[in-house]
């Protein structure tokens, strides 16, 4: 405060007037000070500037050298503005509440005048403080800080400056001012806060805008496919990455259901969508996506919900990364060890599998398995050297994309035992007769063609055809039938010999076959080749063994092994059927018990001769036990030490052969005999004819004894002619002239024909025929047969019965290819008599020519009968016991469609 006017002005007023004047001046001064301050405050732009201004102006108004404003912050007083102090004081000094007079003012809330140096505390380190005035800054009753003035200046008349104490007036003015300042400060603080908040909001908005641009850029430029959809899967946004990866342009995709979901994954996709709708984010799904071009891609997918401000899920965002390449690298490199160990497992299984078909299938499975070599399709061609062709042997692979996915997701060796893999092979889509397999088995390539397949064989070299249209030697048959676009073939070389080729392609994934793939295949194909070769050899051996077994079993001779101690070790089917016993009751038994039913070795058996001499024997033996004539051969079997351990018996039933031999000899004899007979017969026929003919004339013309004598000549000639006819018809046979007729007709006529002769011997001739029996045969000859048989029956019987029976016997043959059963019949005619029967020793001879037991007759009747029956393809049998009649049974076969 400047008091100069008070002291320097002329004293025209009295004391009381002066006093009033003084007081009024004082009031005015105070108002001026406040006015100045207010002006200063209003001119300030911001809070800090305001405080600085306040402190400077206040110091000037009060004529003080220093001013300081402190606020209570964090429990202590901090300098907010000062004037007349060094600049560094603001950061260097804080004042504790209660410390020095400033601290006391803040605590007590009352202004204070300070004069003693100890009151000033640490402030005096910065300026030399001699006098000070401090008042609290209050809002309401709350002290928010202090307002202090230091070192009041006084300039005397001479212009000398000195420091004087602050007056009570000063204190009162400062107090009033502080109360105004407090309000201004408070408002300013509020304004400041609002301002700060607005600025922060603007900054935040700015930052968000930057982030948004960044994000948009990121989404647009991302190599990943970023697609958002609504909850129904309809595409809402589609970035450039999605265009590149899936091949659909933005306008093709937006507004449609996600076009990259393969049909076979739609259900799975729904499950994912449900999870996301519940707010879940699904990370790192490894799945496949379809492209516009129809290929499948491996992708890594993250699905997240898109929420509105209220937190409700309104859409789904999907970020997909094409990991096809990554997958390949994984397969090729990362899982190399795993692959190798699987292949080791497969190849050890291969070495252990000798069944060729199974092996081939296993091999191809290893080639196509997801974590095997991972090719889409594989085929094995084997070289057929005899036909000079390459033939598809086994094919493995899915027939469509859908099937491809199914197989690859299922067929993995991961955590599977070898057994279950084998089971997969046998039951799964790689089974025999799959689409691919059938396709493959139909492929045959001539080795004369010059193609990749044949070159691989001829040059023992692998080929990787990356584009069939660019490779002039690519196989047209594979392109046509398999639709392959790129493929690789590897020769299968075993012991330096090419046995076939392995063919692979990646039609579904379109994955390029790399050099690494080829190397892998090569290593594998060598093992494969030797395994196949082994299996083939084994198959040959097994086949040969089976053939031997078949021969052994199906041979019609009896074949059996007998040890040196007469025990049967093995026997074929013929033995079983001849003996009528199952194998179990033959093997392990003594041969003489089984074959001869005796307790000790059979004297005639060549077995013990072979055992004794070590030499083979062949003998023809009559064996009453087995019933027939047998050609028996015994050959010794030697053990490794050269000792005989037993014999092989080969026994042929030659009973029929023997009979046949006898028949042939007989026939030859008869032929010679017959020829002679024919000659003789012919020579005597003409004279007989003349004799008989004229005798007949005489007989007609003569009477009495002469007529009788003539008749004798006629009869005898007739008998001779009869013998001639029999003999000659035996020699010279006529062809069979078959017609259809009913046997009943013939039998009827025969009964009529024989009536006088049958009655003459007191016999009864009857026919037994339930229904008409149609027959296709030579009428005359069948009649002759019946005449012969009835003649014999009548002559062998006296006062007895002769029955002619005729019926059909149905024989069913096996069904033919169309399932039709050809029915065949035997027509059977029986002539049975109750006569004297046939002697046992004669029964085998009665059909021989010229054999007769009768005093009359040629002995040709039955042999002619037999011949006629045989000409009809039939047979004749006889049953008889001496004294109880005979039964002749004729079988004539008759085919019917």
Partner 1 sequence: MKILVVDDEKNILKLYQVELEDEGYSVVTANSGKEGLEVFERENPDIVTLDILMPDLDGIQVLRLMKEKRPSVPIIMLTAYDYRDDFSVWVSDAYVVKSSDLTNLKATIKQLIKKTTT
Candidate segments 82-90, 151-159, 245-253, 725-733, binder of partner 1 by CB under 8 A? 725-733
What tokens does 830 get? 């029986």
Candidate segments 109-117, 436-444, 464-472, 710-718, binder of partner 1 by CB under 8 A? 710-718
- Between 269 and 784, name the residue whose CB sits nearer to partner 1: 784
Cα separations in angstroms, 413 against 23, 377, 456: 110, 17, 30
Q: Is 753 in the site for partner 1 (CB under 8 A)?
A: no
* Interacting residue with partner 1 among 45, 278, 732, 820 (CB under 8 A): 732
Rounded to a whole number of angstroms, the CA Rg of the chain reads 67
Residue 267 half-sphere exposure, CB side, CA atoms within 13 Å?
1
Q: Is 677 in the site for partner 1 (CB under 8 A)?
A: no
Most distant CA atoms of the chain, gap in Å: 238
Q: Decide: 425 and 432 in contact? Cβ < 8 Å.
A: no
3-state secondary structure 133-155: EEEEEEECCEEEEEEEEEEEEEE
Q: Decide: 84 and 62 in contact? Cβ < 8 Å.
A: no
* Interacting residue with partner 1 among 330, 403, 721, 871 (CB under 8 A): 721
What tokens does 155 get? 């300039």
Candidate segments 156-164, 340-348, 354-362, 678-686, binder of partner 1 by CB under 8 A? 678-686
- Between 635 and 725, name the residue whose CB sits nearer to partner 1: 725
What tokens does 708 get? 């009788």
- Between 536 and 696, name the residue whose CB sits nearer to partner 1: 696
* Interacting residue with partner 1 among 717, 804, 836, 860 (CB under 8 A): 717
Q: Which residue has the tokens 């019965």?
A: 801
CA angle 821, 822, 826 (to 5 degrees): 130
Q: How far apart are CA 873 and CA 582, in angstroms?
A: 35
- Between 648 and 728, name the residue whose CB sits nearer to partner 1: 728
Q: Is 648 in the site for partner 1 (CB under 8 A)?
A: no
User: What is the distance, to the nearest Å, from the Cα of residue 381 to the centroid of all Cα atoms in its chain?
Assistant: 20
Phi and psi at 616, nearest 5°, equal -75, 150
- Between 581 and 685, name the residue whose CB sits nearer to partner 1: 685
User: How would you classify the pairing of strands 225-230 and 161-164?
Assistant: unpaired
Candidate segments 307-315, 521-529, 723-731, 876-884, binder of partner 1 by CB under 8 A? 723-731
Q: Is 693 in the site for partner 1 (CB under 8 A)?
A: yes
Q: Would you say how long the chain is, in residues? A: 897
- 126 three-class SS: coil
Q: How far is the CB of 713 from partner 1 (least distance, A)?
A: 9
Q: Is 679 in the site for partner 1 (CB under 8 A)?
A: no
Q: What share of residues in the chain are helix, strand, coil (percent, to 5)?
A: 45, 25, 25
Q: How far is the CB of 753 from partner 1 (least distance, A)?
A: 17
Phi and psi at 797, nearest 5°, equal -120, 145
Q: Is 176 in the site for partner 1 (CB under 8 A)?
A: no
Phi and psi at 711, nearest 5°, equal -60, -35
Burial class (CB in 10 A: 0-12, 13-18, 19+), 850: middle
Residue 829 half-sphere exposure, CB side, CA atoms within 13 Å?
26
DSSP string, 792-835: HHHHH-SS-EEEEEEEEEEEEEEE-TTSPEEEEEEEEEEEEE-S
- Between 420 and 690, name the residue whose CB sits nearer to partner 1: 690
- Between 421 and 731, name the residue whose CB sits nearer to partner 1: 731
- Between 20 and 734, name the residue whose CB sits nearer to partner 1: 734
Candidate segments 297-305, 371-379, 490-498, 681-689, binder of partner 1 by CB under 8 A? 681-689
Q: How far apart are CA 789 and CA 207, in angstroms?
A: 131
- Between 2 and 737, name the residue whose CB sits nearer to partner 1: 737
Q: Decide: 170 and 149 in contact? Cβ < 8 Å.
A: yes
Q: Is 690 in the site for partner 1 (CB under 8 A)?
A: yes
What tokens does 629 get? 């004539």
Q: How far apart are CA 129 and CA 66, in angstroms?
A: 9
- Between 211 and 689, name the residue whose CB sits nearer to partner 1: 689
Q: How far is the CB of 836 from partner 1 (least distance, A)?
A: 32
- Between 529 and 714, name the residue whose CB sits nearer to partner 1: 714
- Between 286 and 683, name the residue whose CB sits nearer to partner 1: 683
3-state secondary structure 259-300: CCCCHHHHHHHHHHHHHHHCCCCEEEEEEEEECCCCCEEEEE
Q: How far is the CB of 598 from partner 1 (least distance, A)?
A: 55
Candidate segments 267-275, 289-297, 623-631, 695-703, binder of partner 1 by CB under 8 A? 695-703
- Between 609 and 685, name the residue whose CB sits nearer to partner 1: 685
What tokens does 602 get? 């059979």
Q: How far is the CB of 764 from partner 1 (least distance, A)?
A: 31
What tokens does 586 get? 């033959």
Q: Is 718 in the site for partner 1 (CB under 8 A)?
A: yes
* Interacting residue with partner 1 among 678, 698, 753, 828 (CB under 8 A): 678
Candidate segments 260-268, 418-426, 668-676, 711-719, binder of partner 1 by CB under 8 A? 711-719
Q: How far is the CB of 868 from partner 1 (least distance, A)?
A: 13
What tokens does 584 get? 């179990």
User: What is the distance, to the nearest Å, from the Cα of residue 701 to the centroid of all Cα atoms in its chain?
Assistant: 109
- Between 387 and 700, name the residue whose CB sits nearer to partner 1: 700
93-122 residues near partner 1, rule: CB under 8 A: none
Candidate segments 173-181, 483-491, 644-652, 689-697, binder of partner 1 by CB under 8 A? 689-697
Q: How far is the CB of 717 from partner 1 (least distance, A)?
A: 5
- 508 three-class SS: coil
Q: How far is the CB of 695 from partner 1 (least distance, A)?
A: 7
Q: Is 725 in the site for partner 1 (CB under 8 A)?
A: yes
* Interacting residue with partner 1 among 435, 538, 694, 741 (CB under 8 A): 694
Candidate segments 160-168, 306-314, 724-732, 759-767, binder of partner 1 by CB under 8 A? 724-732
Candidate segments 227-235, 303-311, 426-434, 722-730, binder of partner 1 by CB under 8 A? 722-730
Q: Is 628 in the site for partner 1 (CB under 8 A)?
A: no
Query: Site for partner 1 (CB under 8 A): how many residues?
Result: 30
Q: Is 681 in the site for partner 1 (CB under 8 A)?
A: yes
* Interacting residue with partner 1 among 728, 751, 769, 878 (CB under 8 A): 728
- Between 336 and 719, name the residue whose CB sits nearer to partner 1: 719
Q: Decide: 375 and 505 in contact? Cβ < 8 Å.
A: yes
* Interacting residue with partner 1 among 24, 125, 733, 844 (CB under 8 A): 733
Q: Is 11 in the site for partner 1 (CB under 8 A)?
A: no
- Nearest residue to 862 (alpha-carbon basis) of 886, 893, 883: 886
Q: How far apart are CA 455 and CA 825, in angstroms?
A: 63
- Between 129 and 681, name the residue whose CB sits nearer to partner 1: 681
- Between 176 and 692, name the residue whose CB sits nearer to partner 1: 692
Q: Is 724 in the site for partner 1 (CB under 8 A)?
A: yes
Spatial strand order in the sheet of 801-815: 764-768, 801-815, 821-833, 886-896, 875-880
Q: Is 682 in the site for partner 1 (CB under 8 A)?
A: yes
* Interacting residue with partner 1 among 107, 691, 751, 753 (CB under 8 A): 691
Phi-psi region of 597 (alpha: psi -120 to 50; beta: other; left: phi over 0): left
Q: How far is the CB of 724 from partner 1 (least distance, A)?
A: 8
Kindly list the residues in this chain that would bind partner 1 in the complex (CB under 8 A): 678, 681-682, 685-697, 714, 717-718, 721, 724-725, 728-729, 731-735, 737
């Amino acid at each position: 405060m400047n008091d100069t006017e008070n002291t320097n002005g002329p004293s025209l007023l009295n004391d009381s007037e002066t006093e009033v004047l003084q007081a009024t001046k004082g009031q005015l001064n105070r108002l001026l000070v406040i006015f100045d301050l207010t002006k200063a405050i209003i001119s300030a732009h911001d809070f800090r500037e305001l405080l600085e201004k306040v402190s400077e102006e206040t110091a000037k108004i009060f004529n003080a050298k220093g001013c300081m404003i402190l606020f209570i912050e964090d429990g202590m007083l901090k300098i907010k503005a000062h004037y007349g102090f060094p600049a560094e004081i603001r950061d260097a000094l804080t004042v504790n509440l209660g410390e020095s007079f400033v601290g006391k003012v803040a605590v007590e809330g009352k202004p204070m005048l300070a004069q003693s140096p100890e009151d000033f505390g640490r402030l005096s380190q910065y300026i030399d403080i001699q006098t000070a005035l401090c008042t609290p800054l209050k809002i309401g009753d709350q002290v928010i800080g202090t307002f202090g003035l230091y070192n009041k200046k006084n300039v005397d008349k001479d212009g000398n400056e000195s420091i004087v104490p602050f007056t009570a007036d000063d204190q009162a003015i400062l107090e009033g001012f502080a109360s105004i300042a407090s309000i201004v400060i408070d408002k300013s603080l509020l304004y400041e806060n609002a301002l700060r908040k607005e600025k922060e909001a603007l900054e935040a908005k700015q930052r968000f805008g930057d982030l948004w641009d960044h994000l948009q850029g990121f989404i647009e430029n991302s190599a990943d496919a970023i697609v958002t959809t609504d909850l129904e899967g309809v595409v809402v946004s589609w970035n450039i990455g999605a265009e590149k990866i899936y091949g659909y342009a933005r306008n093709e995709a937006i507004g449609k259901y996600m076009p990259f979901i393969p049909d076979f994954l739609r259900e799975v996709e729904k499950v994912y969508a449900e999870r996301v709708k519940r707010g879940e984010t699904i990370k790192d799904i490894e799945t496949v996506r379809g492209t516009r071009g129809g290929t499948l891609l491996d992708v890594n997918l993250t699905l997240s919900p898109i929420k509105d401000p209220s937190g409700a899920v309104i859409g789904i965002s999907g970020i997909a990364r094409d990991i096809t390449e990554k997958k390949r690298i994984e397969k090729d490199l990362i899982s190399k060890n795993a692959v190798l160990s699987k292949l080791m497992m497969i190849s050890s299984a291969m070495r252990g599998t000798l069944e060729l078909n199974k092996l081939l299938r296993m091999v191809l499975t290893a080639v196509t398995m997801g974590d095997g070599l991972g090719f889409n399709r594989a085929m094995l061609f084997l070289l057929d050297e005899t036909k000079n062709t390459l033939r598809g042997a086994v094919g493995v692979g899915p027939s469509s994309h859908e099937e491809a996915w199914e197989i690859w997701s299922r067929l993995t060796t991961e955590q599977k035992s070898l057994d279950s893999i084998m089971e997969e092979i046998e039951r799964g889509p790689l089974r025999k007769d799959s689409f691919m397999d059938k396709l493959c088995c139909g492929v045959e390539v001539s080795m004369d063609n010059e193609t990749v397949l044949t070159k691989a064989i001829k040059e023992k070299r692998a080929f990787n055809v990356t584009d069939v249209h660019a490779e002039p030697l690519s196989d047209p048959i594979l392109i046509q039938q398999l639709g392959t676009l790129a493929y690789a073939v590897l020769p299968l070389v075993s012991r330096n010999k090419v046995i076939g080729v392995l063919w692979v392609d990646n039609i579904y994934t379109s994955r390029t076959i790399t050099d690494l793939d080829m190397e892998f295949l090569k290593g594998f194909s060598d093992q494969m080749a030797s395994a196949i070769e082994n299996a083939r050899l084994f198959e040959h051996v097994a086949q040969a063994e089976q053939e031997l077994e078949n021969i052994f079993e199906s041979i019609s001779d009896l074949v059996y092994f007998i040890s040196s101690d007469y025990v049967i070790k093995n026997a074929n089917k013929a033995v079983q059927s001849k003996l009528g016993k199952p194998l179990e009751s033959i093997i392990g038994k003594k041969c003489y018990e089984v074959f001869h039913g005796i307790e000790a070795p059979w004297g005639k058996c060549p077995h013990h001769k072979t055992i004794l001499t070590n030499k083979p024997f062949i003998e023809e033996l009559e064996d009453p036990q087995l019933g027939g004539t047998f050609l028996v051969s015994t050959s010794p079997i030697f053990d490794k030490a050269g000792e005989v351990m037993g014999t092989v018996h080969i026994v042929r039933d030659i009973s029929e052969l023997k009979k046949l031999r006898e028949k042939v000899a007989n026939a030859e004899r008869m032929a010679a005999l017959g020829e002679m007979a024919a000659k003789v017969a012919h020579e005597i026929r003409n004279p007989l004819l003349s004799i008989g003919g004229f005798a007949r004339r005489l007989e007609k013309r003569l009477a009495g004894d002469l007529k009788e004598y003539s008749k004798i000549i006629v009869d005898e000639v007739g008998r001779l002619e009869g013998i001639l006819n029999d003999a000659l018809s035996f020699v010279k046979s006529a062809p069979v002239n078959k017609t259809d007729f009913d046997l009943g007709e013939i039998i009827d006529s025969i009964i009529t024909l024989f009536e006088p002769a049958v009655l003459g011997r007191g016999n009864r001739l009857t026919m037994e025929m339930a229904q008409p029996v149609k027959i296709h045969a030579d009428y005359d000859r069948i009649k002759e047969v019946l005449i012969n048989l009835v003649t014999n029956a009548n002559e062998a019987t006296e006062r007895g019965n002769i029955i002619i029976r005729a019926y059909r016997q149905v024989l069913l043959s096996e069904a033919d290819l169309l399932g039709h059963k050809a029915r065949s019949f035997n027509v059977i005619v029986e002539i049975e008599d109750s006569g004297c029967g046939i002697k046992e020793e004669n029964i085998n001879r009665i059909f021989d020519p010229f054999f007769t037991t009768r005093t009359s007759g040629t002995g040709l009747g039955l042999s002619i009968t037999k011949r006629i029956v045989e000409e009809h393809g039939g047979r004749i049998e006889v049953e008889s016991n001496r004294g109880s009649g005979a039964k002749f049974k004729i079988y004539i076969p008759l085919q019917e469609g």
